[in-house]
Chains A and B, each alone.
Chain A
Amino acid sequence: MKEELFVTARSNALIDPGLHIWTWEVAMYLFLGGLTAGIMVFAAIMTLLRKDEEAPFAATKLALLAPIVLSLGMTTLFLDLEHKLFVFRFYTAFQVLSPMSWGAWILIVIYPVSILQILSTLRAGYPQASPYVDRFAIGKWLLDWSEAYRRPVAMAAIPFGIALGIYTGILLSAFSARPFWNSGVLGPLFLVSGLSTAAALVALVARKHSEKVLFARIDLTLIAAELALVALFIINLASGTEQQLLALDSIMSGPYTLVFWVLFVGVGLLIPLLLELLEIRGFVRRVAIVAPVLVLLGGYVLRQVMIDIGQESTWTRYDTQYNAELQERLHD
């Protein structure tokens, strides 16, 4: 038997009995950040492939959503800060080894790139709104300039979008103190999930049938890739250290088993995969709304589950709370 108890109460808020520093605000930010990344990447790819006719929404209208979605995400992130007045401190330093610092600066660069992306497609995508910008000399010049450089702007949007999407995963995987997160797969997993949610958004909002089908196809591939990455993530944990095995328990036989397998893998990945397959084969047409909504839900659930399980996984355990297991361990 081995038992470790606090003799003096620690009860530090947010740490005891288990670490619970981050809640929905951070999960929502990671979700919206990934979605923004996907929006920028798809808007850029459709521009580069000259898909204005075939996929008019993605090629000319989608980019507008990027700064709106990202601003919502940054708002929830701000809500999470405990020392809010000092938020400007993210921008008085660059810590090269801290993914969070990289993220803070990536967010700053994303805005001008994203706004150029919007301007370069404003006349084509939003003919009702563009005259308001055209009315001013500088607005007209900006529209002309960004339209002339539409392809280079799109080419710039891709790497910045990918950086935004992948950093949200690297951010968590860099925490060597949290065994559940400590896997290099998390970066690609979050990136692919972000792209998948953006593809789902287009499939949901676009009017043109050919565009819906195109993005349902794209999403199908991305969901399959995401399933493969989830498998790699689990293999990585299952072949890891004692701490990683204990962390894995929480989704294999612990409190998060149901939400991970049923809500994330089942409802968020497998069901939309199946529905989109049926839709592409032409078996069903009415489900066109269901699959993308489930993909978006699954994208959020992935972040929430990762945040919840990851922060609880730990190197340091004390048997402070009463638990019946202690009684059993007396006999070991």
Chain B
Amino acid sequence: MTRFAMVIDTKTCIGCGDCVVACKTENKVPDGLNRDWIVEATQGRYPQLTTEFRSERCNHCSNATCVTLCPTGASHYWKGTNIVLVDPDMCTGCKACIAACPYDARLVMHPDGYVDKCTFCHHRVEEGLDPACVSSCPTRCMHFGSIDDPGSEVSRLLKTRNYKVLKPETGNEPNVYYLI
């Protein structure tokens, strides 16, 4: 499995929301639905407060429970990578994958009814481009690439910086990393 990872630097993210707008524009996500979102996490007690911004989305897990539990094979890995996609022509809209995702990253496309989610912009990845959110980030806090290539930018960042993933204890092996 070729593993693609997104590495997001929480030290330089300012929570502007450009990644959210870029995704909606690129993928024509309908009104009122979002494939990515920004979370502001504040800790401490005034005046000693620290704030972390996180751009969140599907974690394209290496052990994705949404793929395991899909009864029709509509949820699948794209071309031997960890990129998780949904084939609308195979999706019955049973919503098992929504319940199966510990990150609540899936959504029902209205009015069609099939399940949708972040695709890591695989149509752009195929052409050697970064996902729309990554390429539109004004602070360049988002990075994308193959984690299996030791020379890639994402590998280099994970070798030299402290990082975390969300809820690793789910066992899903998420592939969106946050530099801290």
Contacts and interface: CB of A to CB of B under 8 A. Distances in A.
A13 B108 contact: yes
A293 B151 CA distance: 68
B40 A175 contact: no
Contact of B72 (A1, A2, A93): A93
Interface string B67-88: 0111111100000000000001
B89 A86 contact: yes
A8 B93 contact: no
Contact of A100 (B96, B98, B101): B96
Nearest to B96: A100
A19 B98 CA distance: 9
Contacts of A103: 71
Interface stretch (A43-51, A229-237, A266-274, A313-321): A313-321
Nearest to A175: B99
Instruction: Choose among A6, A13, A98 the residue with the greatest number of B CB atoms under 10 Å from its CB.
Output: A98
Contacts of A84: 92-93, 113
A100 B95 CA distance: 11
A177 interface: yes
A84 B108 CA distance: 13
B150 interface: no
Interface string B35-57: 00111111111100000010000
Among A6, A82, A98, A314, the most chain B Cβ lie within 10 Å of the Cβ of: A82
Given A100-B96, A314-B104, A176 B38 contact: no
A325 to B, nearest CB: 15
Given A83-B114, A95-B72, A101-B71, A177 B101 contact: yes
B11 interface: no
A204 to B, nearest CB: 33
B20 interface: yes
Interface in B90-149: 90-96, 98-104, 106-108, 110, 112-115
A283 to B, nearest CB: 46
Interface in A79-137: 80-84, 86-87, 89-90, 92-93, 95, 97-101, 103-104
Contact of B102 (A2, A98, A174, A315): A315
Contact of A1 (B38, B42, B71, B73): B42
B2 interface: no
Interface residues of A, number: 49
B34 interface: yes
A195 B176 CA distance: 46
A290 interface: no
A5 B40 contact: yes
A8 B72 contact: no
B73 A318 contact: no
Contacts of A311: 99
Contacts of A4: 39-42
A228 interface: no
Contacts of A12: 33-34, 104, 107
A14 B107 contact: yes
A87 B169 CA distance: 34
Contact of B92 (A9, A19, A86, A174): A86
Q: Among B72, B74, B108, B167, which residue has the most Cβ atoms of chain A within 10 A? A: B72
Contacts of B169: 241
Contacts of B37: 6-10
B170 A176 contact: yes
A15 B98 contact: yes
Interface string A170-196: 000011111000000000000000000
A311 to B, nearest CB: 6
A7 B39 contact: yes
A22 interface: yes
A3 interface: yes
A89 B102 CA distance: 25
A245 to B, nearest CB: 14
A3 B98 contact: no
Contacts of B68: 97-98
A7 B170 CA distance: 25
Given A15-B104, A177-B99, A86 B90 contact: yes
- CB-based closest 4 A-B pairs: A82-B93, A83-B93, A82-B113, A100-B71
14 contacts: A6-B40, A7-B17, A8-B34, A13-B32, A81-B113, A82-B115, A83-B88, A83-B112, A83-B114, A89-B92, A104-B71, A175-B100, A177-B170, A330-B45
